[in-house]
Amino acid sequence: KLDRETRKQFELSLVDNEVPDFNEFLEFLERRYQILNAIGRNVPFKSKHSDAHEQMNKTKSLFVKSSNFTKSCILCKDDSQSLHKCDQFFHFSPQKRYETVRENHLCLNCLGFHKVTQCKSKHSCFHCKARHHSLLHRPQLYIVNDDSSPSLNASSTPADATPDTSSLSNVSPLTSYFVTQKKRAILATSVVYVLDKSGSIRKGRALLDLGSMCNLMASDFANTLGLKKEKINIPVSGISDTAFNVKRKSTSTILNSDGSFSATLDFLVIPKITDLMPSTSIDLEEIKIPSYVKLADPNFFLPAKVDLLIGAELFFSILKGNRLCINNSLILQETVFGHVLSGTVEGKQEI
């Protein structure tokens, strides 16, 4: 007689509702035996030849309910959760997650116990829509060529390799400000949650900047997170082509408030991203925000420091469908973090 977990894994291995033949069932038992031996667990079933035939008489009633079972985690051995919900797996780097999935012969798309070519899931990567799980996504870095035109360094970077950030140069990470004597700009900011060195969640404030070719993190925030800083030497240009060299880079994962979205990003670490934003308080009487709107940064109107800058690499992945226009000069754009506000309001701003 097969144990409950082995029965469950057998049903999860099926790609349709047809009853497999006897030889296919024996092949599954052989694979299951090898997996259990590899992870150091005992195999609680009897002789495969004597009991497998008896089990085949009972399989039809099992197949139709296979979708109701959950996949046990190969890392923490918890039968109540699947791999994508495992804290240990979540805290791996995207490269380490990919290697774990490949080493355990799991599906790259749904992390199930079958090949990706047999996967029936209609879901694909949230970030790039490719046929792999969102937790396996490794963002490509934008490289600026000698002619200063941005391009994806896809041809020189293998699909299974992590891009080399040392070739990132002459990028323009800082936001452009449009300020007149009568108007002041409101730039899109959001509260985000960031994983620190120990895996705990810290709150930070991010500027969302489509015009930036890289992601930035303030050095004091990186210190608060306790992140490892990799030594680099990258020339970066900002407003008026003022150049400076970035000496450190860190990697961390950002999440939204309910955990439904996460992304692991490389950040260039610099002393300060910008001054307080906004520079002075904004009068909310000038802005009529609907009461039902959930703001990504509820205190956007109060001067506060910026901990992170999230650039073009992730910008379009966080956008959602709803957009509202306010006073013909402001846009409320829905994102995975909530609605962000950008545009102009009346009043003088000094920068």
| Domain assignment of residue 213, yes or no | yes
Are residues 332 and 266 part of one domain? yes
Q: Averaged over 177-190, what is the pLDDT?
A: 70
**Range with top average pLDDT, 37-46, 74-83, 249-258:** 249-258
Is 268:234 a contact under the CB 8 Å cutoff? Answer: yes
One domain for residues 257 and 111 = no
Per the structure, the count of domains in the chain is 3
- Give the side-chain half-sphere CA count within 13 A for 139: 26
- What's residue 42's pLDDT? 43
Domain-embedded: residue 84? no
Question: For position 111, what pLDDT does the model report?
Answer: 85
DSSP 96-162: HHHHHHHHTT--TTT--SS-GGG-------TTT--SS-GGG--PPPEEE-TTS-EEE--SSS-TTS-
Distance CA 34, CA 124 (A): 30
Cβ–Cβ under 8 Å, residues 71 and 82? yes
- Domain edge (last residue) among 75, 104, 136: 136
pLDDT at 131: 76
Asked whether residue 301 is domain-assigned, the answer is yes
The C-alpha angle 106, 317, 108, rounded to 5 degrees, equals 5
- Specify whether 204 is located in the same domain as 325: yes
Are residues 106 and 238 located together in one domain of the fold?
Answer: no
Which residues form the domain of 24? 4-33
Shared domain check, 251 and 124: no
Taking 90 as the threshold, does the pLDDT of residue 150 lie above it? no
Residue pair 4/27 in contact by the 8 Å Cβ criterion: no
| pLDDT for residue 18 | 55
**Residue 54 maps to a domain:** no
Within a domain: residue 255? Answer: yes
pLDDT at 160: 35
Task: Provide the 3-class DSSP secondary structure of residue 331.
Answer: strand
Q: How far is CA 150 from CA 32, 109, 146, 153, in A?
A: 49, 30, 9, 9
Residue 90: strand, helix, or coil: helix
Among 103, 136, 169, identify where a domain stops: 136
For the stretch 53-87, what's the b/e string if a residue is b when 16 or more beta carbons lie within 10 angstroms of its beta carbon?
eebeeeeeebbeeeeebebbbbeeeeeeebbbebe
| Whether residue 128 sits in one domain with residue 24 | no
Tell me the β-bridge partners of 342.
331
**Same domain for 8 and 108:** no
Q: Average per-residue pLDDT in the chain?
A: 73
The pLDDT tens digits for 278-295 are: 988 988 887 888 888 999
CATH number, domain of 318, equals: 2.40.70.10
Residue 57: per-residue pLDDT: 45
Together in a domain, 236 and 315: yes
Q: 178, exposed or middle or buried, with CB in 10 Å at 0-12, 13-18, 19+?
A: exposed
Residue type, 95: Q
Q: Using alpha carbons, select from 23, 13, 5, 17 the residue that is nearest to residue 63.
A: 17
Considering the domain boundaries, does residue 38 fall inside one? no
Note whether 328 and 269 are same-domain residues.
Answer: yes
Tens digit of each residue's pLDDT (9 = 90 or more) over 222-237: 999 999 999 999 888 7
Task: Choose the most confident range, by mean pLDDT, from 29-38, 133-142, 334-343.
Answer: 334-343
Q: Is residue 173 part of a domain?
A: no
335 occurs within a structural domain:
yes
Show which of 136, 153, 168 is a domain's final residue.
Answer: 136
127 contacts 119 by C-beta, under 8 angstroms: no
Shared domain for 123 and 189, answered yes or no, is no
Element (H, E) at 55: helix 48-56
Residues 201 and 126 in one domain: no
Q: What is the pLDDT of residue 55?
A: 46
Q: What is the mean pLDDT of residues 139-164?
A: 34
